[in-house]
Amino acid sequence: MRVKRKSYTAAEKGKIALESIRGTLTQNELTSKYGVHNTQVSVWKKQLLAGVPEIFSDKRRGKDVAQENLVDELYKQIGQLTGGFVYLVAIIDWFSRYVIAWSISTSMETDFCIETLSDALATGACEIFNSDQGSQFTSPKFTDIMLAQQIQNKSLGYKTPAQIYGGESAEAIMIV
């Protein structure tokens, strides 16, 4: 019968090696406390002592400086973004709470909403669509796609797009 070898994480190895360096416990006490062979404790201790100079070396410091430079560059790029707001459109199945399709844009134009709707309809059609009263969702381009798919648009209340575009204000329509 084979005995499964115990594996140790880097943190456990470091802890055991540090205890060995401190010398608060003898080597035999460490091996019985952690169930590690005497030779393994010696190997981890040597690895730890060999790695200590690297912690304080300029190479390590160079990596930290490179990371800081990268973060600074990203902050500069973010600060240079113009256009004000970023807008998100997400089409979600309310029953499963699954995000079917989504996209973001720096403008509130209808096109990115239509692309997202097309992506969502590529996965399957729904019976009812509900959205806010934004002009992107009440535009003829957007509503014509839903009419072609025979999808009820509840964001338009119980009125048809023709009734809405006939002069009534979109803000006056109650969301159902």
pLDDT in tens, 118-146: 988 888 877 888 887 788 888 888 888 88
Least confident of 21-30, 55-64, 71-80, 99-108: 55-64
Model pLDDT, residue 70: 76
Dihedral angle sign, alpha carbons of residues 159, 161, 167, 173:
positive
What per-residue confidence (pLDDT) applies to 80? 63
Smallest CA-to-CA distance from 16 within 35, 32, 30, 37 is with 30
The second-level CATH assignment, the architecture, of 87-172 is 2-Layer Sandwich (3.30)
How distant is the alpha carbon of residue 37 from its chain centre? Answer: 43
Q: What pLDDT, on a 0 to 100 scale, did the predictor assign at position 51?
A: 82
Per-domain residue ranges of the chain: 10-79, 87-172
